[in-house]
Structure 1
Amino acid sequence: MSSSPISRFPVPSPDQLAPELRERYADVEERSGFLPNVFGALAWRPAEAAAFFALHDALMDKETPGLSKADREVIVVATSAANDCLYCVVAHGAIARIRARDPHIADQVAVDWRKAPLSPRMHAVLEVAVRLAVDPAAVTAADLETLRGHGLTEDDVWDVGAIVSLFALSNRLAHWAAIPPNDEFYLLGRVPRS
């Protein structure tokens, strides 16, 4: 376990958390065996933490016709890599490995999504998602039409943009606060849980 600080900003102790965050954090820690550093780093601003997690859950904890939970995590990994966000690449890479049941996919996507063994649909999704992450003004109506042409519904197309946008915020906050990935994330989805 690393003893480095998890944020450049104050990190409240669990007993200082607002009740709704304390309950959510306890649940996450019980299910995963650890509390992701981003939770601790955001806790000092409880209203913002609650809003962030509410939007996260609305976008990431669902399956739709064009985007599985694994697909959603792959979008986060590719765009976070484009934004040089170590925390999000490592943390969401772990979740992508678990949800995709593939111990290699997150590394392949983070290094070069264009060469990753993904479906043509996911290649199209990542092409548009990464463009939005690094050069938002370059995204055109034709890009959205391309996604529709690959079978994404109108809601799926919106979700691609919303996921990229939420994680652009997350990437920048992780940089701003210097949030390091938890050591536990490096092994999740690579080795069987004990």
Structure 2
Amino acid sequence: MPYIEVIHPDEAEGRLRRIYDRVTGPGGQVDNVLQIHSLRPHTLEGHMALYKSVLHHPRNDLPKWFLEAIGVLVSLLNDCSYCARHHAAGMKRQMSGDTEKYEGCLEQLHRDHPGEPFSDAEQAALEYARKLTIAPGFVVVADLTPMREAGYGDGEIFEVNQVAAYFAYANRTVTGLGVHTEGEALGLFPPDGEEWRHG
């Protein structure tokens, strides 16, 4: 049960109804993390714009499954089971049925320092995301060096930063307001482009 009032899709009117129509997934599902914004619909629009930009934008260079993996790691570090479960399912869908790799990656995300099957560059990115999550005031330029040495350019580094930062926001929204996964299909996400509808 959320800690604040929520306007559910069947009760929504006006602007909120229009936004819900944009994000509704299969079976009429509007994820609880989105419904928690119902008292201030403009914040739902902001949330979706940020979410789409960092995780589901065609101009991002890093693979979507790996962006989801960063989200899972950050969510685990922040004790946000809602986001960890949703985005682990999303990571699995993005991996197109490679169950062995998915299971190996998920197992590694539960460790202090994830290793293989993540590549050296991915491991460096996960270490950066980890430090940014648990000690944000102590990140220094040297923390970016392993990613650069592994072949990431500043654009890819920025993508890692933005995903970790987005999940810090989303995790605190979820855990701070009692959002839960009860009754939700997990791992739904919108396509690339302007579409918000989850599928």
Normalising by structure 1, report the TM-score.
0.81
The alpha-carbon deviation at position 26 of structure 1 amounts to 3.2
Superposition pairs of residues 46-125 of structure 1, within 5 angstroms: 46-63=41-58, 66-101=61-96, 102-103=98-99, 104=103, 107-112=106-111, 114-115=114-115, 117-125=117-125
**Structure with a larger share of its residues in helix:** 1
Identity score, percent: 26
Q: Which residue of 1 aligns with 2:175?
A: 175
What is the rounded CA distance, in whole Å, between the counterparts of 1:105 and 1:55 in structure 2?
29
For 1:12, what is the secondary structure of its paired residue?
coil
| Cα distance change, pair 74–33 in 1 and its aligned pair in 2 (3 A) | farther
Q: Does 2:30 correspond to 1:30?
A: no
The one-letter code of the counterpart of 1:162 is Q
Query: SS state of the match for residue 42, structure 1?
Result: coil
Quick check: 124-133 or 43-52, which moved more? Answer: 43-52
Q: CA deviation at 1:153?
A: 2.5
Deviations 1:123-176 (A, max 9, x none): 111001011001112222122232222222322211211211111111111111
Which residue in 1 is equivalent to 2:145? 145
Q: Indicate if the aligned counterparts of 2:90 and 2:186 stay in contact, CA closer than 8 A.
A: no
Aligned-residue RMSD, C-alpha: 2.5
Distance 2:56 2:29 in 1: 20
In structure 2, stretches of 5+ residues that fail to align are 189-199
Letter of the structure 2 residue corresponding to residue 8 of structure 1? Y
CA distances 1:45-88 after superposition (whole Å, capped 9, x unpaired): 21111111101111111356751111110000011101111111
Structure 1 residue ranges without an equivalent (≥5): 189-194
What TM-score do you get using the length of structure 2 for normalisation? 0.79
**For each residue in 1:80-139, what CA deviation from the matched residue of structure 2 results, as whole angstroms up to 9, or x when unmatched?**
101111111011111111112344256324422614521111111100101100111222
Shift in alpha-carbon separation, 1:72–1:32, aligned structure 2, 3 A: farther
The 1:146–1:107 alpha-carbon spacing in structure 2 relative to 1, beyond 3 Å, is: closer
Report if aligned partners of 2:124, 2:147 keep a CA contact under 8 Å in 1: yes
Residue 12 of structure 2 aligns with an amino acid whose one-letter code is Q
Distance 2:5 2:24 in 1: 20
Q: Cα offset for 1:30?
A: 3.4
Q: Which residue of 1 aligns with 2:194?
A: none
